[in-house]
Chain A
Amino acid sequence: MKISGVAIVGRQNEPLLLRTSEAQPPCEPIEHIIYAALDVVDDHALLSAKKSTPDALKFYLGALYPLEDGKCYGYLVNTKIKFFIITQSQAHSDQDVQSIFQQLHSEYVRMACSPFFKQDAPITSAKYVRFVDSLLASGS
């Protein structure tokens, strides 16, 4: 799977981390893609408050919408942090995407438990940024 961009958005929909692949950037600026994707995430969040089916409450939101040359996937966790992955090609198994999201999340939690971590501030942890960059590089 080729990942062209990864984004993390905070509680108040403020961007915490936006990274794009240098070799294969997404077709549009990542800010535009995430701006549109947040609407879809809000929709999911509203829906899950009404419906109680287990599927509606999953962290993994699936493909949010297709792009010209890929797809945008979303992941919304309990702490209202949103994770996004932008891929290059169209067809991916949900399981693969989900496992990448889980890695992103568990690394985020590890970072959040650091005593120097600042809530709701842009991510500056070099370790985490390195981890995200390794995801971007591994696919291309």
Chain B
Amino acid sequence: MATTALKTTSLSAVEFLVAEICRGSKDIATTHDARYKHVEAIGYRTGLALFESHSACISEAKKNMRFQGELDVIKYLCKDMWQVIFQKQIDNLRTNHKGVYVLHDNQHPMLTHLPRTIPIDENVQLLLAYPCGVIKGGLAALGITASVSAEITALPACKFNLDVRRA
């Protein structure tokens, strides 16, 4: 039986699209918070559909197998999903084993083309709303509710803070 094959697109197309979504959000919302939410919601929808379709066939060995626990899911996000979306893996994953995860990305594709001297203001922050939404939506698809925020340390490095709320 044929499994749903993953369709691919070039990374630059994703970069341009996200940049355009961020720019276009100015016409839709006036405040920064509303714009951030708008871009994040688009990412959320992407994550939801992407994880739904991709989590069935990660690899031949893990075909039609479930994840074992939360850490397994986060590892899958860092290794496989980041590869699918950004063609690179998360460089460093830290956790306190109590539901807080910090994902370090030393060369985030959304930030690599920015000049190093640019001040880190809310417009730069907005570029990371999309990946935040993807993470949030993806985890929601796998049954984990998390609050996600991004932090820019030094361009083009950034880190994502995941707080998984326990029921």
Q: Which residues of A contact B (CB under 8 A)?
A: 11, 48-49, 52, 54, 57-60, 76-80, 99, 102-103, 105-106, 109-110, 112-113, 115, 117, 119
Contact mask for chain B residues 55-98; partner A; CB cutoff 8 A; 1 contact, 0 none: 11000000011111100000000000000000000000000000
B residues near A117, Cβ cutoff 8 Å: 49
In the assembled complex, which residues on chain A have CB atoms less than 8 Å from the CB atom of B1? Answer: 99, 102-103, 106
| Nearest opposing residue in chain B for A54, CB measure | B65
The 4 closest A-B pairs by CB, nearest first: A78-B55, A80-B143, A59-B64, A112-B52
State the main secondary structure of chain B at its contact with A. Answer: loop
Q: In the complex, which residues of chain B have a beta carbon less than 8 angstroms from the beta carbon of A102?
A: 1, 3, 64
Q: For residue B141, which residues in chain A have a CB less than 8 angstroms away from its CB?
A: 79, 119
Residues on B with C-beta less than 8 A from A54 are 65
Q: How far is the CB of A1 from chain B (nearest CB, A)?
A: 16
Q: Do A105 and B56 touch (CB < 8 A)?
A: yes
Which residues of B lie under 8 Å from residue A57 when comparing CB positions? 65-68
Residue of B45, B49, B68 near A49 (CB, 8 A) is B68
Q: B4 interface residue, CB < 8 Å from A?
A: yes
User: Across the interface, do A113 and B53 meet the contact criterion of CB distance under 8 Å?
Assistant: yes
Contact A11 B143 (CB under 8 A): yes
Interface pair A79/B3, CB less than 8 Å apart: no
**Contact assessment for B3 and A60 in the assembled complex, using a CB-CB cutoff below 8 Å:** no
Known: A60-B64, A78-B67. A109 touches B52 (CB 8 A): yes
Is B52 a contact of A79 with CB atoms below 8 Å? yes
A76 to B67, CA, bound (A): 11
Q: Contact: A110 with B4, CB < 8 Å?
A: yes
